[in-house]
Structure 1
């Protein structure tokens, strides 16, 4: 046994296979510190959760009072109060779970200030706005006012999300 506190080989010297250690600096396996969390990034995180809530509400409204999205299957497993029956409720529930999973793919990386969550959020939000604008046209041209109004709210929140996401303060807080 060696009497030195560094073990049998003594202290590590440069060139012996170990990365150099800078006093007070990060070690070989340490992650660099995060940039400071900005108010704009906090707002973007809140808007992400608000968008999820509005999206789930929009799905409930569309299922309850919107036009049937499953033509020809209205009589399959009826659930009182739902125009599309039990199948429509099951499809809506699956959609809500899938939507929540996609929002989680954006929210958790954004919370950790990872840039790929921001990029994924921009892609998902842009696609959602395009699809929701098409839905809005269908609802309003078809005379379905309540689903149209809930879709307007969803489009507004998602456009606001895109505006806040494009601010330089948000980019500055990401790594």
Structure 2
């Protein structure tokens, strides 16, 4: 169902030749909207990368932890796959309707990006505040800063997404 249940509205009236809604046309995607779509894909890719690094780190920690019989690598892998699947669904819920220039997807994207920024900040603070696991010594301990790299990049991409989302060029393309 359309955002305008009684037909599209414009300064020229619905369906008049000068309006962007003439003959059912939608306004063309602006460069800002195309950039927003690219940032959505980049955010998803960084999210998947962070999940894979988290899976690798947790698998190594579980292998080194004594007395954890019920949490094996298979359980962690299944959790990672399920998490990535849910994440993909949420990103698709924003990306595809936004590509069709739906305003509700833009609003949902702002909500999700805001939550992602807040969640990433909390995760980074917790990662830095909690002392390193004893099993993460040697090579694993030296790689700890690499675990922060996808989170930092995702934080930057999500903040840029929010900045681009409020540009007038994005609002002009939405219906």
TM-score normalised to structure 2 length:
0.72
| Number of the residue aligned with 1:168 | 168
Does structure 1 residue 46 correspond to structure 2 residue 34?
A: no
Distance 1:115 1:147 in 2: 35
Q: Measured at CA, do residues 124 and 31 of structure 1 come closer, stay the same or move farther in structure 2, by a change above 3 Å?
A: farther
Give the match's secondary structure for 1:35: coil
Where in structure 1 are there 5+ consecutive unaligned residues? 1-21, 79-84
SS in 2 for 1:50: helix
- CA separation of 1:39 and 1:72: change in aligned 2, threshold 3 A: farther
Aligned equivalents of 2:16 and 2:27: distance in 1? 21
The reply to whether residue 89 of structure 1 matches residue 81 of structure 2 is no
Cα distance, 1:141 vs. partner? 2.6
Q: Which moved more, 1:139-148 or 1:160-169?
A: 139-148
- Give the RMSD, CA atoms, in angstroms: 2.9
- Count of aligned pairs: 144
Which structure 2 residues correspond to residues 5-154 of structure 1 after superposition, within 5 A? 32-65=24-57, 74-76=68-70, 78=72, 85-142=73-130, 143=132, 144-154=144-154
Larger Rg: 1
RCO higher in 1 or 2 (8 Å CA, sep ≥ 6)? 2
* Residues 73 and 58 (structure 1), Cα distance of their counterparts in 2 relative to 1, 3 Å cut: farther
**C-alpha spacing 1:135/1:74, structure 2 compared with 1 (3 Å):** farther
**Aligned partners of 1:168 and 1:50: how far apart in 2?**
22
**Following the alignment from structure 1 to structure 2, what is the Cα–Cα distance between the partners of residues 122 and 157?**
13
Higher normalized helix content (fraction of residues) = 2
Distance 1:31 1:116 in 2: 23
